[in-house]
Each structure stands twice: as C-alpha cells, then as structure tokens.
Amino acid sequence: MKKIEDIDTLITEALSREEAEFYDQLGEQSVHDLVTELFGGRYRWLNLASIPVMIAFCAALIYCGWRFYHAPEVREMLLWGVGIFYTGAAIMAMKLWAWMEIQRNSLTREIKRVELQLAHLAGKLGG
C-alpha cells in the first residue's frame, strides 16, 4: 500500500501546472484554521452561543467540586459528586459536538475537492 504522500505526488503529476498550483492552495488546514472555520459557517450563531454555556458548565463544575470537598456528610458528598459528573459530561458532550462539526466541515471540503477533480476530468474528456 502506498503512503499518502506518494498518492499526493501522483495526483500532482497527473494535473496540469495551473491545476497543480490550485490543488496545492487547497492543502491541509491547521487546527487553528479548523476551529476558526467552525465560527464562520452556517451554524456560527450556535457555535458562538455554546461558548458561554460551556463556561457556565465549567464554573458549575468547579463550584460542585468545591462544595464536594467541603461537604460535612456523605449524602451531600454524593449529591455534589453527581453534580460534578453531570457537568463534566455536559462539557464533554459539547466538546465532542464541536469536534464532530469540525470533521463535518473537513469532509465537506474533501468532497468538494473530489467534485472539482471530477469536473476537470469531465472537461478534459468532453473537450
């Protein structure tokens, strides 16, 4: 099996010089670019609204942890421990959702890249 770099080299060699330059501009994005893109799409408002909610859950997690540490009875410790569990689970769920959105954006970009290559191939075969 060939490595990804070998496949990229074969694709670049198969393209014309102009197409290869354009293909290189479509290169891989950094994590910073992926996160920035998350706040610029169709669901920008939802992603922006999730930040204060996640901060509130972080504050609630810290508060529950503080109260758990200072609880005088086991029953109170259990209740505050449940609060820690649920706020931690909510934070984790929101972070997973954000990473799934990033993956969806990356997959959409790759599909558009394949569509572009198919359009170029159809143009060469039809012309």
pLDDT tens for each residue of 101-110: 989 988 988 8
70-100 pLDDT per residue, tens: 999 999 999 999 999 999 999 999 999 999 9
Burial 63-94 (b: 16+ CB within 10 A, else e): ebbebbeeeeeeeeeeebbebbeebbebbeee
107 belongs to a structural domain? yes
Which helix (H) or strand (E) segment holds residue 103: the answer is helix 74-126
102 belongs to a structural domain? yes
Chain-centre distance of CA 52, in angstroms? 18
90 belongs to a structural domain? yes
Cα dist. 12→5, 6, 16, 20 in Å?
11, 10, 8, 5
How many whole angstroms separate alpha carbon 58 and alpha carbon 75?
A: 23
82 belongs to a structural domain? yes
Domain that holds residue 78: 73-122
Number of structural domains found in the chain? 1
Q: What is the pTM of this model?
A: 0.70
